[in-house]
């Protein structure tokens, strides 16, 4: 295994560009970059530019991963770059990206089933609870997109890996893999996102492990709050995710898997509103009905995990939401604190240290 980082969240990634970002990752002691899409490497898929990036990664001994983008046609209008690269045709654009990735050896490519809208509270922040189109209709549309892309993916030896994103469940991802084919569809395991769907991270990792081909290694605070539960990204080791249980599951089925840290993005790179709260409306009857696969056993384990974590918060071992904010961690409050370049580097260092320690304890070999 190798420990690297999600390129979208690497501080100053856009400012530095892909080549300098690879050097930055190397300087930080990381072993690779997972660029969200091929367009983040080259907006026009210039072959020479992409080959230069591949050569730089190889020169530095870093892994290089990428992705395609959104596969949910009901939210594709929010990603016009996918239409642009296909001269108006999103399927053509995604096809070009698959072929461009394969040419530089990026055959594990991220895809996402939706977008997160932080301006909306609770369930309306995710496409799952749109009221103009049902989630089942969206899943069927995504399956159709994957089926259209499957022949070119198979021809190029590529897997389109569905992220455990904010709006989709592990059960639904498994059904998409079964329907389209595991020879061209896999999983990007985000270790914290399934918390927003009421799934226990260890249960979900166990379900998905055989098909995990890329990762977002992320931790989160979960705490009771008005309307349900608060979700807040934290450095690995400061949240609720049990990496000591999850990493051995992944290493057992894929010892060459790349572990890509996903950190809270620096406010210098992307300005955000103060205190954007992600509320999980887990007690809302509409929320519960919207998760038919979730079993009583898993919900019981989820709340047991939450209770154990809350005891650590109450004991002062883990800061609560307000304390974390005021201590200049996590998402910024522009009235009081700043989460910039230095703080983002601290987030990376703390997360990397925790993951390395867990791997050492579990006998998982991390190579540079």
Q: What would the pLDDT profile of 155-178 be if each residue is shown by its tens digit?
A: 999 999 999 999 999 999 999 999
Rounded to the nearest 5 degrees, what angle is found at the Cα of 270, between the Cα atoms of 269 and 271?
A: 125
Q: Give me the pLDDT at residue 212, please.
A: 98
The contacts of residue 196 (CB under 8 Å, 6+ apart) are: 126, 166, 231, 278, 280
The predicted-structure confidence for 59-83, as pLDDT tens digits, reads as follows 999 999 999 999 999 998 888 888 8
46-50, 232-236, 267-271: which range is least confident on average? 267-271
Q: Are 83 and 92 in contact (CB under 8 A)?
A: no
The per-residue pLDDT for 275 is: 53
Question: At what angle are helices 243-253 and 201-208 packed, to 10 degrees?
Answer: 0
Does 336 score more than 70 pLDDT?
no
Q: Inform me whether the pLDDT recorded for 127 exceeds 60.
A: yes
Task: Give the homologous superfamily in CATH for domain 2-362.
Answer: Divalent-metal-dependent TIM barrel enzymes (3.20.20.150)
Query: Among 21-25, 71-75, 124-128, 338-342, whose mean pLDDT is lowest?
Result: 338-342
With a pLDDT cut of 70, the percent of the chain lying above it is 96
The answer to whether 68 and 160 have CB atoms below 8 angstroms apart is yes
Asked whether residue 286 carries a pLDDT value surpassing 60, the answer given is yes
Chain segment 208-266, per-residue pLDDT in tens: 999 999 999 999 999 999 999 999 999 999 999 999 999 999 999 999 999 999 998 88
Q: For position 78, what pLDDT does the model report?
A: 81
Domain edges within the chain: 2-362
Q: What would the two tokens of residue 16 be?
A: 């530095």
Average the pLDDT over 327-339 and give the result.
Answer: 52
Give me the pLDDT at residue 335, please: 40
Token duo for residue 112: 């996402």
What's the full length of the chain, in residues? 368
pLDDT at position 331 is 44
Q: What is the pLDDT of residue 122?
A: 84
Average pLDDT, the chain: 93
């Amino acid at each position: 295994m190798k420990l690297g980082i999600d390129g979208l969240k690497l501080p100053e990634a856009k400012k530095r560009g892909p080549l300098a970002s690879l050097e930055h990752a190397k300087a930080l002691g990381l072993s690779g970059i997972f660029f969200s899409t091929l367009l983040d490497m080259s907006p026009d898929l210039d072959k020479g530019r992409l080959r230069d990036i591949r050569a730089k990664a190889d020169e530095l001994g870093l892994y290089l991963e990428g992705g395609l983008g959104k596969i949910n046609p009901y939210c594709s209008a929010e990603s016009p770059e996918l239409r642009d690269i296909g001269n108006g045709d999103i399927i053509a654009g995604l096809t070009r990206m698959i072929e461009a990735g394969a040419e530089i050896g990026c055959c594990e490519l991220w895809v996402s089933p939706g977008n997160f809208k932080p301006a909306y509270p609770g369930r309306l922040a995710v496409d799952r609870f749109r009221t103009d189109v049902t989630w089942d209709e969206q899943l069927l549309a995504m399956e159709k997109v994957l089926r259209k892309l499957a022949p070119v993916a198979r021809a190029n030896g590529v897997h389109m890996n569905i992220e455990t994103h904010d709006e989709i469940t592990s059960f639904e991802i498994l059904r998409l893999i079964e329907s389209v084919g595991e020879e061209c569809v896999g999983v990007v395991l985000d270790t914290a996102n399934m918390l927003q769907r009421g799934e226990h991270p260890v249960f979900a990792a166990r379900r998905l492990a055989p098909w995990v081909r890329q990762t977002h290694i992320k931790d989160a605070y979960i705490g009771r709050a008005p309307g349900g539960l608060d979700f807040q990204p934290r450095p690995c080791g400061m949240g609720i995710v049990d990496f000591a249980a999850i990493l051995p599951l992944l290493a057992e089925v894929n010892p060459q898997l790349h572990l890509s840290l996903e950190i809270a993005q620096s406010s210098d790179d992307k300005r955000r509103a103060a205190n954007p709260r992600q509320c999980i409306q887990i007690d809302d009857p509409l929320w519960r009905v919207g998760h038919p696969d979730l079993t009583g056993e898993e919900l019981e384990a989820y709340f047991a995990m939450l209770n154990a974590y809350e005891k650590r918060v109450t004991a002062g071992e883990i800061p609560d939401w307000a304390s974390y904010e005021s201590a200049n961690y996590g998402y910024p409050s522009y009235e009081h604190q700043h989460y910039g370049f230095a703080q983002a580097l601290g987030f990376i260092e703390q997360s990397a240290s925790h993951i390395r320690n867990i791997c050492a304890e579990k006998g998982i070999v991390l190579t540079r």
